[in-house]
A and B are shown apart, each in its own frame.
Chain A
Amino acid sequence: MTLSGYEALFFWIFGLAAIFAGLLTVMARNAVHSALFLISSLVSVAALFILARAEFIAGVQILVYVGGVMVLFLFVIMLVNVGAEERGSDEIFNNQRQVTASLIFCLLLVGGMLYSINTGYRGLQARYPATPDVVAAQESIRDQEHAPSATGSSRITNDTESVGSSLYRYASLPFEIASVLLLVAIIGSVMLARTLKQEASADDVDPDFESR
Chain B
Amino acid sequence: MFSCFNILSLIQAAETTRVGMMKQAALNPDLSKFLVIGALLFIIGVAGVLTRRNIIVIFMSIELILNAANLNFIAFSRYLSAMGDVDAVAGQIFAVFVIVVAAAEAAIGLGIVIALYRNKETIWVDEIDLLKW
A42/B104 in contact, CB under 8 A:
no
A34-B60, A49-B74, A166-B90 given as contacts; is B47 within 8 A of A102 (CB)?
A: yes
A-B contact count (CB 8 A): 250
A26/B57 in contact, CB under 8 A:
yes
| Bound CA span A49–B75, Å | 8
Q: Which of A5, A12, A114, A189 sits near B108, CB closer than 8 Å?
A: A189
Summarize B's interface: helix, strand, loop or mixed.
helix
| Bound CA span A16–B60, Å | 19
- Whether a CB of chain B sits under 8 angstroms from the CB of A147 is no
- Whether a CB of chain A sits under 8 angstroms from the CB of B13 is no
B92/A163 in contact, CB under 8 A:
yes
A45/B52 in contact, CB under 8 A:
no
B110/A189 in contact, CB under 8 A:
yes
Summarize A's interface: helix, strand, loop or mixed.
helix
- Whether a CB of chain A sits under 8 angstroms from the CB of B14 is no
Q: How large is the interface on A (under 10, 10 to 19, 20 to 34, 35 or more residues)?
A: 35 or more
Identity of the chain B residue whose Cβ is nearest the Cβ of A109 in the assembled complex:
B43
Chain A residues lying within 8 Å of B31, measured Cβ to Cβ, are 1, 121, 124
B114/A73 in contact, CB under 8 A:
no
